[in-house]
Structure 1
Amino acid sequence: MTLETAPLTAPLPALDALCRNGAGLSIGVEFPLDNDFARHGRPGSTGQFGIPDLTHQRRRAELADRLGFKALWLRDVPLWVPAFGDAGQVFDPFPDLGYLAGVTDSILLGTAAVVLPLRNPLHVAKMAASIDQLSRGRLILGVASGDRPNEYPAFDADFDSRGELFRSSVNAIRTAWRESLGPEDTVKVLPPPAQDAIPLVAVGRAQQTTDWIASTMDGYMTYHRPGPLMQPVVNRWNHAVPDGQHKPLLTTMLLDLVEDSRAPAEPIRFGARLGRNSLARYLEELEASGVGHVALNFRPSQRPVEDALEEVAKHVLPAFS
């Protein structure tokens, strides 16, 4: 396998739908749909910090779909490292996505992100294509190089080589989706994706240069920043994207939506605590900066997740639909 690969030029319906063909901001949600960050340490709370309650995930995923959120994002945390605290949504993203494909109708399904150096790229290609078929073309495959060095020895993988492994995996996955892997069509990965090509989005830098990501990947997801601080990030990204191509920049946001609709924005780590009116203005600033999609994460929310989902859907989503 070579380390470099040209981007595909085939249509990417899921990514176009996510970012409305560059026409503005869309809003999704990030699993787990739980408020375990806020719940930890309260009287009567159980469990360790960062391990969510998964009891209501199906119902909340169905609710997000019904309310009109654009995408559900799942993380890949291969091994729980207590020192990092956060176990993601606990379930492996691929069987979880297969399950969600069957219980949702229109919401897009994304990974943010599959740790490529710790997985065989042909398995990733086959699992992703399977999810794309099961969901009728709703998958966006976010991929990363991983940032937890403790995981790598357990997988007999070299942490320092993860950037090279990431590039070779991207090439192998795309090759498996479009070509035979043996002479005279003797070896193929089935099924083919439902889309002409499943969008591949770099989540974080993945040990790559911005120019490599912009020329090779279909989009880029970066850490949260408020709109004014995101503007130069978007400008650098757009400058790196080849002329004539639209490749969106995506981000996430930790959200503690308070009951007072007029409450001003108060920064928290990777997000904000604020009322719905301030949230709308906050998202408008991100849209003005050129961000194409924001995935809201409700884990620091003091309120029930259902209440926050419904309030955002009723009072905020219409401005971005």
Structure 2
Amino acid sequence: MNTHTPLTEDPASTHPRPDGPSHPGMARAFPEGRMALGLIAPLESFTGDVPVMEGHLELARGAEDAGFASLWVRDVPFLVPGEGDGGQLFDPWVYLGTLAAVTHRITLGTASTVLPLRHPAHVAKAAASVDRLSSGRMLLGLACGDRPGEVSAFGPGDADLGARLRDGWHYIRHVTGPSSGGFVSPLGEVAPGIDLLPKPPYGRLPMLMTGRGRQTPEWTAEHADGWLYTALDPERQRANTARWRRLTGETDGGRFKPYAQAGYVVLHDDPRSAPRPLIQGWSMGREPLLELFKAYEAAGVNQLMMNLRHNTRPAAEVMAEIAEWLLPHFPPGPDH
């Protein structure tokens, strides 16, 4: 049953899609046919669950100047014991607004906004605002969340989080489109003539799925503009990217939808140091890391999103080494 009833035309079919150079953030973050490197905030090496966030804006500008493709922030409203760190501490939308003001080229994104815990009207308004303030550098990553301990604080009770994500997704897609026609959703009714402003400056707000989102791959391939997935070995990712491109229709001449993966990166002092085990990431010297990243590129990954928190060296030092030795092999896509 379709519980989302546009009272006029469906805007998803009437305005441009953010493929290729039509959206600057997508073009820089996801160069078609190769891989770029991004960073996940906070740009800090720390132990425990809470970063200090000292000099973080200077580090963000340094990441842009070095040539990293993107900078991603996380949606962590509560610090839940045993369920991960506090992210970049600041509210993601306040922080993205600040980052938009102090950077000029680097793509900005959420990885990810926990959509079932937020009303989609607020998410749409915030994301479209950042997209316009940053001149088209905002990518909206969406997820169901992976911290059960925070769900009750938002009051959805026993609601189906997967269904709430779908409802919220359709809601955002409608209100950020060009039409002011009405829309009926389980999350609210937008009466005809009511419109949400601002509109995305490049016609369509890029929306990316993070993880599975309690959806089928077929649903994600149809509705998402890209997929952000977890760290797996290159051969498993090769299988995933091949399936993804079949589902999106790219292998049959359809439009390019990127596939990215996120993981922790620990860079050893010795550039030839052999890999060591690291859950959800990679720990080794820069030379084997370069070869591993080349394998991911060959497997069809379009961006590798790096979290530096587990390093013993300062993050700025690790970023500088990656920028000197790895970034030349994986430059960002073109700037507009």
Q: Taking structure 2 as the reference length, what is the TM-score of the superposition?
A: 0.87
Match of 1:10 among 16, 24, 37: 16
Asked if the contact 1:226/1:282 (under 8 Å) is kept, the reply is no
Tell me which amino acid in the other structure corresponds to 2:88: Q
Aligned to 1:43: none
Asked if the contact 1:18/1:70 (under 8 Å) is kept, the reply is yes
For 2:278 and 2:59, the matched residues in 1 are separated by: 24
Secondary structure in 1 aligned to 2:260?
strand
For 1:3 and 1:294, the matched residues in 2 are separated by: 37
For 1:186 and 1:58, the matched residues in 2 are separated by: 40
1:19 is the counterpart of 2:18: no
For 1:272 and 1:283, the matched residues in 2 are separated by: 10
Aligned to 1:240: 247
For 1:259 and 1:93, the matched residues in 2 are separated by: 32
Aligned to 2:128: 129
Secondary structure in 2 aligned to 1:78?
coil
Aligned to 1:44: none
Aligned to 1:30: 40
Match of 2:302 among 292, 305, 314: 292
Distance 1:184 1:207, change over 3 A: closer
Aligned to 1:60: 59
- Write the mapping of 1:158-177 to structure 2, written as runs, cut at 5 A: 158-177=157-176
Secondary structure in 2 aligned to 1:112?
strand
Tell me which amino acid in the other structure corresponds to 1:93: P
Secondary structure in 2 aligned to 1:267?
coil
Asked if the contact 1:27/1:293 (under 8 Å) is kept, the reply is yes
For 1:163 and 1:259, the matched residues in 2 are separated by: 43
Residue 23 of structure 1, CA deviation: 2.4
Identity of matched residues, %: 35
Aligned to 2:215: 208
Asked if the contact 1:18/1:26 (under 8 Å) is kept, the reply is yes
Asked if the contact 2:12/2:174 (under 8 Å) is kept, the reply is no
- Consecutive aligned runs of 4 or more in structure 1 exceeding 6 Å deviation: 3-6
- Write the mapping of 1:32-47 to structure 2, written as runs, cut at 5 A: 32-36=42-46, 40=47
Asked if the contact 1:7/1:216 (under 8 Å) is kept, the reply is no
Match of 2:224 among 214, 217, 220: 217
Asked if the contact 2:37/2:70 (under 8 Å) is kept, the reply is yes
Match of 1:228 among 209, 218, 235: 235
Distance 1:168 1:306, change over 3 A: same
Secondary structure in 2 aligned to 1:266?
coil
For 2:226 and 2:66, the matched residues in 1 are separated by: 26
Secondary structure in 2 aligned to 1:63?
helix
Asked if the contact 1:163/1:207 (under 8 Å) is kept, the reply is yes
Unaligned runs of 5+ in 1: 41-48
Asked if the contact 2:181/2:191 (under 8 Å) is kept, the reply is no
Residue 253 of structure 1, CA deviation: 2.0
Residue 235 of structure 1, CA deviation: 2.0
For 1:264 and 1:228, the matched residues in 2 are separated by: 20
Aligned to 1:192: 199
For 1:159 and 1:285, the matched residues in 2 are separated by: 42
For 1:125 and 1:271, the matched residues in 2 are separated by: 31
Tell me which amino acid in the other structure corresponds to 1:186: G
Asked if the contact 1:204/1:220 (under 8 Å) is kept, the reply is yes
CA RMSD, 1 decimal: 1.9
Aligned to 1:150: 149
Residue 17 of structure 1, CA deviation: 2.6
Secondary structure in 2 aligned to 1:228?
helix
Asked if the contact 1:108/1:140 (under 8 Å) is kept, the reply is yes
Secondary structure in 1 aligned to 2:140?
strand
Asked if the contact 2:113/2:141 (under 8 Å) is kept, the reply is yes
1:266-304 superposed Cα distances (whole Å, 9 cap, x missing partner):
230111111111111111010010000011111011111
Secondary structure in 2 aligned to 1:150?
helix
Asked if the contact 1:276/1:312 (under 8 Å) is kept, the reply is yes
Match of 2:286 among 245, 261, 276: 276
Unaligned runs of 5+ in 2: 183-189, 332-336
Tell me which amino acid in the other structure corresponds to 2:310: P
Say how many residue pairs are matched.
Answer: 309
Residue 2 of structure 1, CA deviation: 1.4
Residue 265 of structure 1, CA deviation: 2.0
For 2:237 and 2:248, the matched residues in 1 are separated by: 17
Tell me which amino acid in the other structure corresponds to 2:180: S
Tell me which amino acid in the other structure corresponds to 2:101: G
Tell me which amino acid in the other structure corresponds to 1:90: L
Secondary structure in 2 aligned to 1:268?
coil
Asked if the contact 1:181/1:187 (under 8 Å) is kept, the reply is yes
Distance 1:184 1:260, change over 3 A: closer
